[in-house]
Amino acid sequence: MAQDLKGGEYIDTMSDLKGGELLTLPKDGTKFYVKTWKCTGTPIAVVYHFHGMGEHINRYEHVFSAFAQAGFEVKGLDFMGHGRTQVVNNSVKGATDFETVFAQMDMLVFGTEHNLPVFLMGHSLGGLLVLAYAQSRGPRIPNLRGVICQAPALKVIPLPLGILAKGLGGNVLKHLQAANGRSTGAPKVTGKTFKGVVSCQAKLLANAASFKYSIIICHSPADKLTGIKGSEAFSAKVGRTNKIFEKTEEVS
């Protein structure tokens, strides 16, 4: 069972896919949920979105519907342990393994040929993932025009991270929820995910100077889950001049 953040409901059945579909990852047969927000006319660009920890892609229904109306086609998926991907796998495989997410996103990014401009976008954990994905897959993505990050998890609050880095697993989302006053949508996210976060953070910050794509980073100093200092450090090290770092007041 996974919580639907937007409506405060619980996803305990796959009877309503809300316009999405299930794809199968060839390497292990795991099913995962994907959704596309299509434009009524010809799109002007395609956006691939990575959601945050404890979220699911339909949390952004109101946002991506507006994107589609503005001419942007948006594609995204529910990570392992999140949303309908959690439900279809009977609440197993809760760790969000980065390479698995990348392999799943590859099926969206490289599954359809087009000549449209491409933007990669992510929030929180998804912001970290999208930076790593751009570094890893960017050279293979035709017409990649830029990356948009909202509160990327380049720095996470010390207590949960310190505990999890020592290998303690289990359900930690209730502690994150209490820390930031947010509800969470995935009861099956483990310490393995956070150990992956630590490793990814270090690699991205160490190699930030080689990040070659146009980038926008937005972050609130009031965010209690993802520290703004990580975003500031990454942005400062990025070698491109075509970059924007913006402090925002709201915590999303």
Return the domain boundaries, the chain.
2-247
pLDDT (0 to 100) of residue 43: 97
pLDDT tens digit sequence for 66-96: 999 999 999 999 998 888 998 888 765 556 6
Classify domain 2-247 at the CATH class level: alpha beta
22 neighbors 85 (Cβ within 8 angstroms): no
More confident residue, 52 or 1: 52
pLDDT (0 to 100) of residue 171: 45
Q: How far apart are CA 197 and CA 153, in angstroms?
A: 8
Lowest mean pLDDT among 34-38, 62-66, 109-113, 158-162: 158-162
Q: How far apart are CA 177 and CA 68, in angstroms?
A: 31
pLDDT tens digit sequence for 92-119: 555 667 888 899 999 999 998 899 999 9
221 neighbors 249 (Cβ within 8 angstroms): no
Q: How far apart are CA 128 and CA 50, in angstroms?
A: 9
Task: Write the DSSP string, 13-47.
Answer: -SS--TT-EEEE-TTT--EEEEEEE--SS--SEEE
Tokens of residue 243, six digits: 């970059």
User: Where is 164: in which H helix or E strand?
Assistant: helix 158-165
Structure confidence at residue 175 as a pLDDT band (50, 70, 90): very low
